[in-house]
């Protein structure tokens, strides 16, 4: 019997594979599709204080190995997701619910965190600074701003929470961000958000694929897998299990998921592949992960989690 269950912030997930905030999780109907799928949790759309229409269209495009988007946080406002969480918990009591909070100001985030205290949401994922919100910086690249936000929300939340981080590319930045996160009761980090401000050009029309910001948008899918793996590995080494790491970025197969867990992830999220392949992707990845673990002789995730081997000198 191969066990791919896990725990995030002490909450049990039947498998280590679930959806990431963003793709196809705005409406209650979309969330019910996730609830009925193999996703082991229901992650809701990153919500703001007020409803948002998001950026001008076209704002998403499928690419050969992933996607580009500049959605701009279209969502129904946090009150809608509080309502949805109550409906979902009643209808699907066995699936943990993850709220994603992405307020546009410190004050907004405090209001939203407080509001989720009295809801059946199991876990909160704080998404400070999407790379695709016009006029708003990527907060994860500013340690002082991140520190200010975590200080504020830590004082008001009663729910276990983690932080979704952008990808980092310089080793000194990992230490700077980790030092901020260690000051607060952050239970997990999610690595990584899309790589911000990529540009995809259609050479035939001589135009970008998407409209916002002159065509700049977040790159997701297989293009970012190796950056995501690096972030998971480095943060896992820094936190040594005291703060859990969730991996996301380019997971299309069970072997992809295996690699993230080998690098130290306690769970993995699926985004672009869910949009492209549909809700069956969760079961597919789970079954392939179990098959590969059987091939390797592993019975449970802890048999290999964080045990990436080094090359012999």
Name the one residue in this structure whose structure tokens are 């002159």: 214
Compute φ and ψ for 98, nearest 5 degrees.
Answer: -115, 120
pLDDT digits (tens, 9 = 90+) for 170-203: 999 999 999 999 999 999 999 999 999 999 999 9
| The pair of three-digit structure tokens given for residue 77, joined into one six-digit string | 């406002």
- What is the pLDDT averaged over residues 84-104? 98
- pLDDT value for 313: 55
- pLDDT value for 137: 85
> CB-based contacts of 91: which residues, under 8 Å, 6+ apart?
32, 35
pLDDT digits (tens, 9 = 90+) for 112-132: 999 999 999 999 999 997 888
- pLDDT value for 100: 98
- Using alpha carbons, select from 313, 290, 274, 305 the residue that is nearest to residue 42: 274
Dihedral angle, C-alpha 17, 18, 23, 25, nearest 10 °: 170
Tell me what the pLDDT averaged over the chain comes to. Answer: 97
Spell out the domain ranges in the chain.
Answer: 6-53+73-197+221-303
- Report yes or no: 111 and 49 within 8 Å, Cβ to Cβ: yes
CATH number of 6-53+73-197+221-303: 3.20.20.70
Q: Flag whether pLDDT at 42 surpasses 60.
A: yes
pLDDT digits (tens, 9 = 90+) for 211-240: 999 999 999 999 999 999 999 999 999 999
């Amino acid at each position: 019997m191969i066990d791919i269950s896990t725990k995030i912030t002490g909450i049990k997930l039947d498998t280590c594979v679930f959806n990431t905030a963003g793709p196809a999780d705005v409406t209650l109907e979309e969330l019910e599709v996730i609830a009925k799928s193999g996703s082991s949790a229901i992650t809701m759309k990153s919500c703001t204080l007020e409803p948002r229409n998001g950026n001008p269209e076209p704002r998403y495009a499928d690419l050969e190995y992933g996607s580009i988007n500049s959605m701009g946080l279209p969502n129904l406002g946090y009150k809608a997701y509080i309502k949805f969480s109550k409906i979902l918990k009643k209808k699907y009591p066995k699936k943990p619910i993850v709220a994603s909070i992405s307020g546009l100001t410190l004050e907004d985030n405090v209001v939203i965190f407080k509001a989720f205290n009295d809801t059946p949401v199991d876990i909160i994922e704080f998404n400070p600074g999407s790379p695709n919100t016009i006029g708003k910086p990527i907060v994860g690249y500013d340690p002082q701003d991140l520190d200010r936000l975590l200080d504020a929300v830590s004082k008001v939340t009663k729910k276990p929470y983690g932080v979704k981080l952008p990808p980092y590319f310089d080793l000194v930045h990992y230490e700077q961000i980790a030092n901020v996160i260690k000051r607060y009761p952050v239970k997990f980090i999610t690595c990584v958000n899309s790589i911000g401000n990529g540009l995809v050009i259609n050479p035939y029309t001589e135009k970008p694929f998407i409209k916002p910001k002159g065509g700049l948008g977040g790159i997701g899918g297989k293009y970012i897998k190796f950056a995501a793996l690096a972030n998971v590995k480095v943060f896992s080494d820094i936190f040594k299990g005291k703060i859990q790491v969730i991996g996301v970025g380019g997971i299309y197969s069970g072997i992809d998921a295996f690699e993230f867990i080998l690098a130290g992830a306690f769970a993995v999220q699926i985004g672009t592949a869910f949009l492209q392949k549909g809700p069956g992707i969760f079961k597919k990845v789970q079954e392939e992960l179990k098959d590969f673990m059987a091939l390797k002789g592993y019975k449970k995730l802890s048999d290999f989690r964080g045990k990436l081997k080094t090359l012999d000198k």
